[in-house]
Amino acid sequence: MHLLLRRSSSRLYLLIMVLHIVVVFLSWPRSSIRFY
């Protein structure tokens, strides 16, 4: 994933981060609060 992020543009990087945050929120709402 890190190699992909390095090759891709910042837009794709932000999109992946947003998707990851959404997955975390849907998976563990309590853990997501701990992350922030």
pLDDT at 6: 66
In tens, the pLDDT along 5-36 reads: 566 678 888 888 999 988 888 887 666 566 55
Q: Name the residue with higher pLDDT: 2 or 27.
A: 27
Structural domain including 15 reads 2-35
Q: How many CB atoms lie within 10 A of CB 22?
A: 11
Count how many domains the chain has: 1
pLDDT at 19: 93
> Could you write out the three-class secondary structure of the chain?
CHHHHHHCCHHHHHHHHHHHHHHHHHHCHHHHHHHC
